[in-house]
């Protein structure tokens, strides 16, 4: 059930991703539900590289690795076909790649 909820949210937010991408360049939408100040924001690839350095300096290797993978995905993404999202909680960070084509074949787009 949780997967369906996440997919629905990503489906709704994919238009915002495309607009952010057009304005800010390649990047990723980050959801940090535990944050009271910034629960959703966009990071372009330069900001993502800064985050990798910050995570590495704080020895948060898992988070740095996810961010590195996210940078590679963001730099090769076609925002008309794919939207990229990171969901961060207190313990981990997860990358979600929303492929619009999969929803088109189901008749949902």
Instruction: Tell me the per-residue pLDDT of 19-42, one tens digit each, with 9 for 90 and over.
Output: 999 999 999 999 887 777 878 899
Non-local CB neighbours of 98 within 8 Å, separated by 6+ positions: 7, 10, 11, 14, 17, 82, 83, 84, 85
Q: Which residue has the tokens 């994919």?
A: 14
Q: Is the pTM of this model over 0.75?
A: yes
Is the separation of the CB atoms in 78 and 97 below 8 Å?
no
Terminal CA-CA length for the chain = 21
Measuring CA to CA, how many Å separate 7 from each of 70, 83, 85?
18, 11, 11
> Which ranges of the chain have pLDDT less than 50?
104-109
pLDDT at 1: 65
């Amino acid at each position: 059930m949780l997967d369906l909820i996440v997919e629905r949210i990503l489906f709704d937010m994919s238009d915002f991703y495309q607009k952010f991408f057009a304005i800010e360049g390649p990047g990723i939408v980050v959801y940090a539900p535990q944050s009271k100040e910034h629960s959703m924001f966009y990071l372009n690839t330069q900001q993502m590289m800064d985050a990798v350095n910050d995570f590495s300096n704080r020895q948060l290797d898992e988070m740095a690795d996810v961010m590195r993978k996210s940078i590679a995905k963001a730099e090769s993404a076609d925002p008309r076909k794919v939207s990229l999202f990171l969901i961060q909680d207190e313990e981990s960070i997860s990358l979600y790649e929303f492929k619009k084509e999969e929803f088109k074949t189901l008749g949902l787009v």
